[in-house]
Amino acid sequence: MAKKKDSEKTAARTENPNVFGLRAAVVEQPITQALEENYMPYAVSVIVSRAIPEIDGFKPSHRKILYTMYKMGLLTGGRTKSANIVGQTMRLNPHGDAAIYDTMVRLSRGYGALLHPFIDSKGNFGKVYSATAYAAARYTEAKLAPICAELFRDIDHDTVDFVDNYDNTMKEPSLLPTTFPNILVSANQGIAVGMASQLCGFNLGEVCRTTAAYLKNPDCDLSETLLAPDFPTGGEILCDASNLEEVYRTGRGGLRLRARWRHVKEQNLIEVYEIPYCTTVEVILDKVRELIRAGKLKEISDMRDETDKEGLKLTIDLKRGVDPEKLMQKLFRLTPLQDTLSCNFNVLIGGMPRVCGVRELLEEWTAWRIESVRRRIYFVMQQKKDKLHLLKGLKRILLDIDKAIAIIRETERDADVVPNLMIGFGIDQVQSEYVAEIKLRNINKEYILRRVEEVGTLQDEIDDLEDILAKPQRVRKIIIGELEKVEHDYAEPRRTQIVYGAQELDVEEEEADEYPVHVFLSNGGYFKKITPASLRMSSEQRFKESDALHQTFETTSNAEVMFFTDRAQVYKCRLSEFDDTKASAMGDYLPAKLKMDEGESVVYMVLPGDYSGNLLFVFENGKAAKVELSSFRTTSNRRRLTGAYSDKSPLRTILRLDEDCEIAVYSTEPRAIIFNTALLAAKTTRATQGVNVLTLKKKFVLDRAVRVDEASIVSAARYRVRSLPAAGAVFLAEDRGEQQISLID
């Protein structure tokens, strides 16, 4: 019978889920309503309470850990087990011990993710540049670093608001009253819902100086004191002025970072000892191994991680005859040894996420810090006013101490002592309470007089504090003083070197197979690279109307080439960057191909080879400069060199000198001289003005210069000189021959 009743109940529940008080398991709801009611609160919580830092430079998780350690007395005391810190932090942070400890690791000195770590750690906390695991919380120890004194300074002076923790059992600060713009000093990264934040760190000394300059003049040039971001892993930052200005202005952009290395000649190896902040050792090694397997890094015999207690070190064993500079340029292009760090200065301002430039961040931080200092001053002033109020009551007692004693002695009930003192001396309840609590041993004129003397000093201090609150300039002066002290106590030298002119830095393309080619440069700046086979089929060169051949050479397809321009600049590249063409084609227009300045044109082409020999620059003012070709060699593969030659006088001719020879120089008078280039001393300074070789009369200038064997001079002895400068001889008609073509039109 019982079994029958149970089966009936089961059937009833199956047919109607609402029977016996049960609700339906599935409720239809529009997806938009579900997102609004469930997902949006979650998204807002992640943005506001987890992933995006606030103006003090901390996320809530950072702030909870540091404040817990502060309340544990770890700013001045010794270290304690990390597990103990994690357990205490769970009173403020409900997200679990693993998340708390992971956040704590990233704030530690051992991990090295911050320029100025906030936690002084002991034990294995891992490394920011390595994916190796850190030790468990029960093994490591920690305390607050000294710089944390600047995070909590005057926190008990009402400088910031306090809010309830998640279960309303204790209070925690909504922000930390940092005395310096930690938002710019400490790197921070977070991924929220629909947005992210990526703040790079700046050098503390530079930030303090910049903030002080901004407080003095909000329109100051930030780039004068805030040179570039700084990273705890060192390396080099390739500083593009326009790109950096964009990051400063908008808070968005990319920064190119590069590893630092050294070549150990004795062991034929390269040591990489600093890597970009945005990568790890494992990622670099994996990429290099992948390239070696693909046959793209044949120059390397082995690469390994030799990091030890001395610091990071990646060792690259080179094969015999490998150029370390070229190899590193190749590695920079193909591996994360050169990487780009994206910047996204997304910060919570007043509870709302906003992408700010550096100036905006300084504006918001200074406004917030001014308010914090004003609150501190007001708090101190109120304390002094309260004390002054008590002392004024005590001053009344000074008039008749015996009367006060008598009132207390004659009062029968304890509760009537304070009212009777109020009536007897005309003071309020607070003052009466203070007088009534004075110890019997202190009821003497000496004690009371000594306390009363403080009234004048307190009044002066209160007046001064009121004056500070009334004058914003004095508040700014206080903040500037605090910044100067922070800089003096905690600033460190830059770790990341700045490489200026980053827009000119480029890496070589992978070397292609070399084969013979002929190169042609026209007067109009058109360039052709043609193979011998193509020339045999058709050798007739095509140029634009009024254009003609200027220079031609035989070389190989991967040779280096330099193009000198009329703006005292030289552009360097590889012939492999130009496509093979035909004689019937126009060729590449160099000003466009090499991205020259507007109106700039090519005047001379040089194939430097091994950079032996010299270049002779002859100027319109009669001077000539012999410059060693090696002066144009660069180790950073710059595409453009400014100051390629002197710009004090217009250039008339450039000649490549593999060895000294005789040169014929002509003036517009017309006169000419022939001299041996051995008379000129070779210089290593590219922009040297040279020495006088041709003495010119007024209204005449130097016209051109050619090698003697290319000139049509018959009576060479007439013009030959043995010392410089020389006026030369008048040019005879029989020596004219055919008009010589100047190398520069």
Whether residue 441 lies inside any domain: the answer is yes
Residues 482 and 521 in one domain: no
| Predicted pLDDT at 57 | 94
Per the residue annotation, which of 39, 42, 139, 611 is the catalytic one?
A: 139
Q: Residue 34 corresponds to which tokens in the numbers above?
A: 């579900």
Average the pLDDT over 614-640 and give the result. Answer: 86
Q: Is the pLDDT of residue 740 over 50?
A: no
Task: Evaluate whether residue 204 is within a structural domain.
Answer: no
| Residue at 581 is within a domain | yes
Q: Which alpha helices (DSSP H) does 204-274 contain, by range?
A: 204-216, 241-250
pLDDT band at 538 (very low <50, low <70, confident <90, very high): confident
CA 83 vs CA 66, 89, 107, 323, 444: distances in Å = 14, 10, 15, 51, 55
Q: How far apart are CA 731 and CA 527, in angstroms?
A: 35
Alpha carbon distance 679, 662 (integer Å): 10
The Cα–Cα gap between 338 and 494 comes to 19
Taking CA 393 as the corner, what is the angle to CA 392 and CA 397, rounded to the nearest 5 degrees?
A: 115
Task: Among 135, 159, 174, identify where a domain stops.
Answer: 174
Residue 432 lies in a domain: yes
* pLDDT score of 20: 46
Q: Region 461-475: what's the mean pLDDT? A: 95
User: What does the radius of gyration of the chain's CA atoms come to, in whole angstroms?
Assistant: 40
- The residue from 490, 520, 536 where one domain ends is 490
SS3 406: helix
Q: Are residues 1 and 123 in the same domain?
A: no
pLDDT given at position 492 = 95
Using CA atoms of 85, 90, 95, 98 in order, give the dihedral in degrees to the nearest 10: 30
**What is the percentage of the chain residues whose pLDDT exceeds 90?**
62
> Do the domain assignments include residue 351?
no
The confidence score (pLDDT) of residue 3 equals 47
Q: Where residue 635 falls among pLDDT bands split at 50, 70, 90?
A: low
What does the alpha-carbon distance between residue 107 and residue 146 come to, in Å, rounded to a whole number? Answer: 13
The overall average pLDDT reported for the chain is 88
Query: What's the number of domains the chain is made of?
Result: 6
Q: Would you say residue 566 lies in a domain?
A: yes
The C-alpha angle 687, 688, 692, rounded to 5 degrees, equals 140
Task: Enumerate residues 6+ apart whose C-beta is below 8 A from 400.
Answer: none
Residue 532 has pLDDT above 80, yes or no: yes
pLDDT of residue 501: 65
For residues 191-203, give the mean pLDDT.
91
Range of the domain at 529: 511-608
pLDDT in tens, 717-729: 899 999 999 998 9
Reported as a single tens digit per residue, the pLDDT across 75-104 is 998 999 999 999 999 999 888 899 999 999
Count, residues in the chain: 745
Supply the pLDDT for residue 404.
Answer: 83
Looking at residues 374-387, what average pLDDT do you find? 95
Mean pLDDT within 294-303: 84
CATH, residue 713: 2.120.10.90
Averaged pLDDT, 622-647: 85
Boundary residue ending a domain (289, 316, 336):
336
Which runs of consecutive H residues, i.e. helices, occur in 50-155? 60-71, 82-89, 97-106
On the question of pLDDT at 609 being above 50, the answer is yes
Q: Is 544 found in the same domain as 644?
A: no
Q: Which residues contact 692 (CB under 8 A, 6 or more apart)?
A: 622, 623, 724, 725
Q: Are 265 and 370 in contact (CB under 8 A)?
A: no
Whether the predicted pLDDT of 741 surpasses 70: no
Q: Provide the pLDDT for residue 739.
A: 46
Cβ neighbour number for residue 512 with a 10 Å cutoff: 12
Tokens of 695: 């003495």
Q: Given this model, what pLDDT does residue 636 score?
A: 53
Question: Any idea what DSSP says for residue 35?
Answer: I
Same domain, 378 and 435: yes
Q: Which residue has the higher pLDDT, 540 or 126?
A: 126
pLDDT at 251: 94
Residue 139 annotated in active site: yes
| Of 21 and 344, the one with more pLDDT | 344
Residue 682 has pLDDT above 70, yes or no: yes
Q: What is the CATH number of the domain that holds 289?
A: 3.30.1360.40
- The answer to whether the peptide bond before residue 725 is cis (omega within 30 degrees of 0) is yes
Q: Are 630 and 729 in a shared domain?
A: yes
pLDDT at residue number 2: 47
Q: Do the Cβ atoms of 550 and 521 come closer than 8 Å?
A: yes
CATH code of residue 424: 1.10.268.10
Which pLDDT belongs to residue 14?
Answer: 46
Q: Which CATH number does the domain housing residue 62 bear?
A: 3.90.199.10
The mean-pLDDT minimum among 281-295, 347-361, 375-389, 693-707 falls in: 281-295
Location of structure tokens 């004003």: 374
pLDDT confidence bin for 595, thresholds 50/70/90: confident
- Predicted confidence band of residue 118 (pLDDT cuts 50, 70, 90): very high
* Average pLDDT rounded to a whole number, residues 23-33: 73
Which structure tokens are listed for 568? 């005292």
Is it the case that residue 310 has pLDDT exceeding 60?
A: yes
- Whether 598 and 614 map to the same domain: the answer is no
* Contacts for 391 with CB less than 8 Å, ≥ 6 apart: 451, 452, 454, 455, 458
pLDDT of residue 625: 95
Q: Is the confidence at residue 18, as pLDDT, over 70? A: no
pLDDT at 622: 93
What the block records as the tokens of 502 is 């980053």
Assess whether 461 and 545 both reside in one domain.
no
Task: Give the per-residue pLDDT at 505.
Answer: 38
Residue 449 pLDDT > 80, yes or no?
Answer: no
Query: Residue 139 in contact with residue 121, Cβ under 8 Å?
Result: no
pLDDT of 511 strictly over 90: no
How confident is the model at residue 508, as a pLDDT? 45
* 146 burial via Cβ count (<10 Å: 0-12, 13-18, 19+): middle
637 pLDDT band, cuts 50/70/90, is low
What type of residue is 678? Answer: A
Q: Please give the biggest Cα pair distance in the chain.
A: 142
For residues 378 and 472, membership in a common domain is answered with yes
Identify whether residues 56 and 4 lie together within a single domain: no
Is the per-residue pLDDT at 6 higher than 60?
Answer: no
**Is 60 part of any domain?**
yes
In-domain check, residue 505:
no
Query: How does residue 539 score in pLDDT terms, banded at 50, 70 and 90?
Result: confident
The predicted pLDDT at position 638 comes to 62
31 and 127 both lie in a single domain: no
The amino acid at residue 649 is S
- Residue-level pLDDT at 1: 45
Q: Does residue 167 carry a pLDDT above 80?
A: yes
Same domain, 289 and 316: yes
Same domain, 550 and 457: no
